[in-house]
Structure formats: C-alpha cells, structure tokens
A = this chain, B = another copy of it.
C-alpha cells in the first residue's frame, strides 16, 4: 500500500516476532519501519528475519532517527509504563502487549498520558479478535444464553516462562503473564466486573526445573464473584507440557456456551487399535491465535487511519491488572479479596497526593 501506517516495534522477543510477522506477511496496511531491542543479538536476528533496516537499542534513538506513526510494545511488563510514556509524549500511537503494567498506578499513568497526548492506546488482548470468541460474545450479547451465571476460562501453556515472567517483582507471575487473557475474557463475556476473588496456587514442577524464584507457582485456580452475581473460575498451568490450551465455558440462565477446542487440527489418525484415535493439539499460542494477532493489528491500524478508539482499551488492561493483584494478595494472605481493596488503595493514595 502506498500510504501504509509506519510502525516501530519495541521488543524482539517471541511476541515481538509474532507481531513483526503479521506486519510483514499479512497486514498490507502497515509497514514495519524500525525495530528496537536493548539486546543487540536478538535485534540483529529479528531485523534480518523481517528485512528491517532501521534497528536501535532504545526507543529514544528510534524516535530521533526514523519517522513512524505508532509503536508496538512487546517488552517485559516492568518496562511498559516508561516506554508508553515516551511514545505518547512524542505523539506515537501505542499498541501495548499484556499485562499492561505492574500496578494500578502505572496503568492509570499510561491511560492519562495517552489521553493527554491524544494518541491511541490498544491493549494486546487478541482473543477479542479471534473469530470464535467474537462469535460467542455476539451471541451472549444478543441474549442467546441469557444472563451469565457461571463462566470458566483456562489457559495452560506448554513451557516454563522466562525468569522475569515468573517473578512477582517484575511481572506479577503466571496469573499475569499467562492468565491476563482470561481476566479480560471473563469480564468481557460475563458483561460484569469482578467483585471478589479467592485464589489457590501450587508449585509442582518448580524444583524439577531448578526454579528458585520466591512465591513461584505453576498451578493456579482463581474463584471470581462478579458484580452481577455470576461466578467464575480462572485456571492457569504453566508449564503444562501437554500443549497450549485455552478454552472458555459459560452457562447462562438459558443455556450453555463453549468456546475453543483442545484439538488443534482437523486431522485424525488411528494406527493402533489399543491406543486409539490421535488428533493434534495446539502446541503454542501463535498456532492457536495466529489469525487473531493479525486481526488485532489490522484493528489498531484501522483505528489510527479512521481516528476511532480501539475496542480494547487501557481500562480493559487496568481491570486485568486489578484482578491479578487481588488474586495474588488472596493466595498470599489465604483469604478472599475484594477488587475494591486493590482499587481503593490507589484511590486513597491519589486522595493523599492531592
């Protein structure tokens, strides 16, 4: 396209590569014009793979040297606030991967800065762009299954997350890294905000993997009560080893709705009568949600072009962070925690700071 929107991608890790591939292979309306990563080796490798000539170790540099319209932030959580602030003040639209940030205060600051500088801020909840999830949401919205009573969402990921992603200090742990999507999905699909959570966590595989991160857990189950009275369950397992598994099940007053399938391909094979039928499972999140990543990027670029607001906003990111913080407090203090405890603390601080 002649007037494609110019994008600078910050973060050459796995999520960064997924977005880079979208932009280069599947999204003619965008153009990947610069790549940023503090790790020069990773930067070179990605730049080579995607044919990007402009590559930098910091966003600062990139902004100074290359013209672009938007940033896509795919770096670790603890860097999001600063990168977003920089992008916003330099007038770049922001696409930010989940989790949005480490604290409610950081989320609030990101939202405020984007608004102040009149740039768009879209959160990377790609399930909102998956055709199955979208169809389901539309049917719930249309009242097909009635008022949601119970909603369960699970995400089980195959491999051990990197060190920063399992440390409560740098990422809020698996409930944030893996289950951010579930936090967003249950709130979206239940059509109600969470009110109270109770979380249990366990550590089954840490020792085997030599993990010594404090408070590490690989198995988590969160019970959620929504303002509407609906009950919810979020479960996370990582590493689960067996595949990538993301499914939602909702019961409304009128009936049941299931989203997603543990099967990853429509090929079934049987060559052993004693073993039985075998069908592939999704092996990774890019495999499961590949087209959703493309679609969310098309949405973001479309909003920039049309001047419309993204359907997934900073506030959605903030709610997910609130859920994670309340659930983390719950398992650490062995009690149920109201979301308001997390949000009120921020409000109180805000009050004091006035």
Tell me the complex Cα distance, A279–B267, Å: 13
Query: Is A98 in the interface zone, CB < 8 Å from B?
Result: no
Q: Interface stretch among A121-129, A258-266, A316-324? A: A258-266
User: Which A256-285 residues have C-beta < 8 A from chain B?
Assistant: 256-281, 283
User: Which A183-204 residues have C-beta < 8 A from chain B?
Assistant: 196, 198, 200-204
The 0/1 profile, CB within 8 Å of B marked 1, for residues 328-354 of chain A is 000000111000000000000000000
Query: Is A55 in the interface zone, CB < 8 Å from B?
Result: no
Determine whether the beta carbon of B150 is less than 8 Å from that of A237: yes
The 0/1 profile, CB within 8 Å of B marked 1, for residues 189-228 of chain A is 0000000101011111100000000000011110101000
Which B residues lie within 8 Å of A261 (CB)?
Answer: 266
Chain A interfacial residues counted at CB < 8 A: 80
Query: Is A255 in the interface zone, CB < 8 Å from B?
Result: yes
Query: Is A156 in the interface zone, CB < 8 Å from B?
Result: yes
User: Which A19-44 residues have C-beta < 8 A from chain B?
Assistant: 24-28
The 0/1 profile, CB within 8 Å of B marked 1, for residues 125-169 of chain A is 000000110011001000011110110100010100000000000
Which B residues lie within 8 Å of A271 (CB)?
Answer: 144-146, 242, 254-256
